[in-house]
Amino acid sequence: MERMMRRLFVVTVLSFIASSTTPASADHAGGRLEFRGGHVMFEVVGQVNNLAAGPGTPLGSSNQFGYLSSLDGVSDVFSDPLPANQNETTAALTFFTNVVTTRITAHGPFSIVVRDGVTTIYRIMAPASFAAPDSFRAGTPVLSANIHQQVIVDTVERTFTVVNMNTVTATARFELGGDPIRIGRRGDVFRTTLSGVLRIRDGVPPPTGHFAGFAVAVQPNVEHH
């Protein structure tokens, strides 16, 4: 009995070591970057253009666009290895979010804006430019998600924070650094947290503001795991 217990202990320890040294974020057989609850999936840098009310958008809408400055498990998200040159012009992955405003609430110095829409990540092959917002969606879509957004604007300090809840609706395989990659699965959920500052818009051209932040996996789609 004692010998059997020792063998069981050894097997358990070896199994633990093996599982601890295997990356949990990537399915190497298929190049899939798996969502893990509470784990940072990627970081973003971007700008926002808020649009006035129009047909079908009585409270206005918003376009938010930029690039991924990091992606979990991937080391080469820029075409240039020099950090000083790593920006929108060398980014391999960009995003474009289009949301429609559904509610605006004034609360002291705060303006609380609620929006819904779609966000898409693209694999682009040509340099993007913040002077041309559509350049951030001039590529191949590799992840699409429905998005629910809450923006809290400090109307005194002209700063804002954003929380997005994103539910993945589609993913596609792409190549980066010669390796095939797919980000998550349909049904995965992630939360994006952003901090930004608004520009004073009187006589000033777009953008409305600048922001940066990160995305955290909230819930993997366990039905397909």
For 23-80, what is each residue's pLDDT tens digit? Answer: 334 444 458 899 988 999 999 999 999 999 999 999 999 999 999 999 998 988 999 9
Q: Is the pLDDT of residue 223 over 90?
A: no
- Average pLDDT estimate for 107-125: 97
> For 126-194, what is the HEC assignment?
CCCECCEHHHHHCCEEEEEEEEEEEEEEECCCCEEEEEEEEEEEEECCEEECCEEEEECCCCCEEEEEE
pLDDT band at 224 (very low <50, low <70, confident <90, very high): low
- Contact at 8 Å (CB) between 47 and 53? no
Q: Residue 125 corresponds to which amino acid?
A: M
Burial class for 91, CB neighbours closer than 10 Å (0-12, 13-18, 19+): buried
Would you call the peptide bond into 220 cis, given omega within 30 degrees of 0 as the criterion?
no
pLDDT at res. 30? 57
Nearest alpha-carbon partner for 147 in 125, 165, 124 = 165
For 189-199, what is each residue's pLDDT tens digit? Answer: 999 999 999 98
pLDDT at res. 90? 98
pLDDT at res. 24? 36
pLDDT at res. 219? 76
pLDDT band at 182 (very low <50, low <70, confident <90, very high): very high
Whole-prediction pTM value? 0.85
pLDDT band at 81 (very low <50, low <70, confident <90, very high): very high
For 89-105, what is each residue's pLDDT tens digit? Answer: 999 999 999 999 999 99
Nearest alpha-carbon partner for 94 in 7, 176, 178 = 176
Provide the greatest CA pair distance for the chain: 84
pLDDT at res. 167? 98
Nearest alpha-carbon partner for 120 in 105, 98, 102 = 98
Distance CA(169)–CA(103), nearest Å, equals 24
